Amino acid sequence: MDLFSAIDTEPVQRRMDELAKELDRLNYEYYMNDRSLVSDEEFDGMMRELQDLERQYPELASPLSPTKRVGGEVNKIFRSVQHRFPMLSLGNTYSIAEIEDFEARTRKLLDGVPFTYTCELKYDGVAIGLTYRHGRLVQAVTRGNGTTGDDITTNAKTIPTIPLQLRGDYPDDFEARGEVVYPFDAFNAMNAQREADGDEPFANPRNAASGSLKLQDSAECAKRKLMFCMYFMMAPDGVVLPDTHFGRLEYARQMGFKVQPYIKECKDIEEIKDFIEYWDHARWELPFGIDGIVIKVNQTPLWDRLGLTAKSPRWAIAFKFKAERVSTLLESISYQVGRTGVITPVANLTPVWLGGTTVKRATLVNADFIAKMDICAGDHLFIEKGGEIIPKVVGVDMEKRQLGAMPIQYITRCPECGTPLVRVEGEAGHYCPNSDGCHPQIIGRLEHFVSRKAMNIDTLGPERLEMLYGAGLVRNVADLYDLKREQLVGLGTDATIQDKGADNLLAALEASKQVPFERVVFALGIRYVGEVGAKKLARYFKNIDALMAATEEELAQVEDVGEVTAKAVSEWFADTEHRAIVERLRAAGLQMNGQWAVVSGRLDGMTLVVSGTFQHFSRDEIKADIENHGGKVSGSISGKTSLLVAGEKMGPEKLKKAEKLGVKIISEEEYMEMVK
């Protein structure tokens, strides 16, 4: 018998419900109770079975299915929505004296009514509000400006500590608020992966959490392993909630929310101070970041009596921890040479424990920074780690300065090749001009050229590049494409490269010849030309000849290319050796033309303006698409504008102007129809 026939879907539905229920239960036990009841394989097997069934029978899939945890839906846009209850912020202070004032003021206002406080952690993440109706999650919205925020429901569903379906007893309609945090372990693992992939690491868990919630691909958000810490609950009139904050959080826990256990009911200022003091030290043992303590009046009926100030409630206050700061000895300064020759001074410090890690080194940025901080040899420096994971030098510990200490003498010659350093007018950094003879610059450029976002020749790591350079086979990036099999086999101190290695390397070099033009531009390693800048330049000039011939003024016309970059690009191509490298790369067969050149001439002679956000394109994509069809894109509406392509959330000014000038307005769909 065909169980899954279209006529009788009941058994399918039953199996799907069964799987969903079991997966939900296992999720709950794992994330709320730290209990793993089945092996990962078993869990994944059930998840896959449910996913397969949902694919086969999409009409039977529940919007709250545990498969949503894995993500997969793409967020085209994050709709802006109004908060039902404004998301207020809290008054905050760094001073215990002000906490004492808050406590005394509250007591006075409450005039003899008995009450207590709750003290809890101030989670360092992103505030969101979750709306539940009839026990089901219906919407997740970021705080935004407190009045409106972005709808991030799809991504929120991938966070395992956000219940999709509540358990037991729950109010029929309410909003749960809390903070999405990025636990340190998951954050560090993700940053390590980013660095390995050649991506810029995130500065801190808070920014990373915020960025994760705005990812277009919810499957990617699922991989981030974010956590939701619930701290607040509110409901419309008529819906009854427990009458203490403590009780509400306990209630929330029973519904299936992750409520951190570190909450304490305090009866007076002494208990509040003890709680603050305890967490000022203990916070580094938590698996996620906090930046303070929140103190609330526990009895919720008193909240109305205390009321609000302009933007925050009078019944709560946040105590913020000062960024942790230590002083440690500056043992020496190293000077690093980057691939573009820029020198970065780095402080070598006596290792010191700070905010959960040992700090041994910190950047001193450039000569101006050292001068401004007035750093002398033998000084002790103050190091701080605030919200940032990277420690910063914030000043000199003057009490420890040695008598007669001398200011740091900045180097005048390159620490690697001895060439006198140059400092360009208007720029803070020094650099070594010996680009072709300075070892770290040569290797740095090669490393950049082969990196993932450039030519992506992953068989060539730093060691192999050193090997090729050491053997005199490769001095610049064009030399890579002259490598012969017989030169490679047997290379390395113990013949590291063998037949297969040589073949792989040559194949990878061959494959890199298909890398698109915009990445070739990036790979050249021109100062200030990052991935985005390279893309813009490539799209604007369309081929290497036009790019090479462009004047500084023409270069500066390109979106996101400033004068400094324009100058750097023009100087780079003015160098005959650079031109020779480009010619050799061209001869080797690298892409020197954009593939997108001209798709059609449907928009020939037309100037289009785009505004708002689109369903099928990012803004850059629709602009490129217009150009591909022969049209010109302009940033502002004028008498010359042929068409305005209006997306969602289009600027009202543009609309007004277009109407005034009688410019035809078309929708994204109409545009797509036009160029089809």
Which residues have a catalytic role annotated?
122
Residue of 102, 115, 182, 232 that binds ligand IVH (CB under 6 A): 232
Q: Does 120 sit near ligand IVH (CB under 6 A)? A: yes
Q: For residues 484 and 256, what is the distance between their CA atoms, to the nearest angstrom?
A: 63
Find residue 335's DSSP bridge partners.
345
Q: Residue number with the shortest CB distance to ligand IVH?
A: 127
DSSP-derived secondary structure letter, 36:
-
Q: Which is nearer to ligand IVH, 179 or 668 (CB)?
A: 179
Q: Does 313 sit near ligand IVH (CB under 6 A)? A: yes
Q: Does 230 sit near ligand IVH (CB under 6 A)? A: no
Burial zone of 385 (CB within 10 Å; 0-12 exposed, 13-18 middle, 19+ buried): buried
Site residues for ligand IVH, 581-610, by CB under 6 A, read none
Residue of 182, 202, 231, 541 that binds ligand IVH (CB under 6 A): 231
Q: Which is nearer to ligand IVH, 159 or 318 (CB)?
A: 318
Give, in order, the Cα–Cα distances in Å from 223 to each of 63, 218, 233: 20, 9, 28
Q: Least Å distance between CB 506 and ligand IVH?
A: 55
Give, in order, the Cα–Cα distances in Å from 569 to each of 446, 529, 549, 554, 559: 18, 8, 11, 11, 14
Integer-rounded Cα Rg, in Å, for the chain is 30
Q: Does 646 sit near ligand IVH (CB under 6 A)? A: no
Q: Which amino acid is at 234?
A: M
x/- string (CB under 6 A) for ligand IVH, residues 528-547? --------------------
The 3-state DSSP class for residue 444 equals helix
Phi, psi of 300 (to 5 degrees): -65, -30
Residue of 36, 82, 89, 557 that binds ligand IVH (CB under 6 A): 89
599: number of Cβ within 10 Å: 14
Stretch that binds ligand IVH, among 98-106, 120-128, 339-347, 376-384 (CB under 6 A): 120-128
Contacts for 197 with CB less than 8 Å, ≥ 6 apart:
452
Find residue 320's DSSP bridge partners.
292
Q: Does 47 sit near ligand IVH (CB under 6 A)? A: no
x/- string (CB under 6 A) for ligand IVH, residues 190-229? ----------------------------------------
**Cβ–Cβ < 8 Å for 393, 383:** yes
Burial zone of 423 (CB within 10 Å; 0-12 exposed, 13-18 middle, 19+ buried): middle
Q: Which is nearer to ligand IVH, 152 or 438 (CB)?
A: 152
Stretch that binds ligand IVH, among 70-78, 116-124, 220-228, 339-347 (CB under 6 A): 116-124
**Cβ–Cβ < 8 Å for 53, 100:** no
Q: Does 294 sit near ligand IVH (CB under 6 A)? A: yes
Q: Which is nearer to ligand IVH, 313 or 433 (CB)?
A: 313
Q: Which is nearer to ligand IVH, 306 or 675 (CB)?
A: 306
433: number of Cβ within 10 Å: 14
Stretch that binds ligand IVH, among 13-21, 313-321, 357-365, 420-428 (CB under 6 A): 313-321
Q: Does 83 sit near ligand IVH (CB under 6 A)? A: no
**Cβ–Cβ < 8 Å for 345, 335:** yes
Q: Which is nearer to ligand IVH, 316 or 408 (CB)?
A: 316
**Cβ–Cβ < 8 Å for 121, 160:** no
Q: Least Å distance between CB 293 and ligand IVH?
A: 8
Q: For residues 524 and 582, what is the distance between their CA atoms, to the nearest angstrom?
A: 9
Q: Which is nearer to ligand IVH, 127 or 603 (CB)?
A: 127
Q: Which stretches of the chain bind ligand IVH, using CB under 6 A?
A: 88-90, 120-123, 127, 143, 179, 231-232, 294, 313, 316, 318
